[in-house]
Amino acid sequence: MLDSLVVLLTAEGIYNPATGLANTGDYTQEVVAAYWNFIAVEEDRSFGIHSPHYVYQILDETIKALNTP
């Protein structure tokens, strides 16, 4: 799911996969929230091991939000 989110965030222009950092710019609230959700899981480095259902739900809802026109 993180890989899918990387693709979506890169397409939105907010994420630079070469650096692993955010690009500066003006983004919608949904895109910024999606980026923060991604970073929260990515930087946790446990990949949700302590609360897998919660992390799965966050990632699933974030992907759905970015795929909604």
Residue 47 binned pLDDT confidence (cut-offs 50, 70, 90): low
Percent of the chain with pLDDT over 90: 80
Contact 1, 56 (CB under 8 A): yes
Dihedral of the CA atoms 31, 13, 5, 61 (nearest 10)? Answer: 20
Report the domain count for the chain: 1
In which domain, by residue range, is 58 found?
2-67
The string of DSSP letters for the chain reads: -HHHHHHHHHHHTSEETTTTEEPPS---HHHHHHHHHHHHHHHH-STTTTSHHHHHHHHHHHHHHHH--
Q: Residue 31: pLDDT band by 50, 70, 90 thresholds?
A: very high
The mean pLDDT value of the chain amounts to 93
Is the pLDDT at 69 greater than 90? The verdict is no
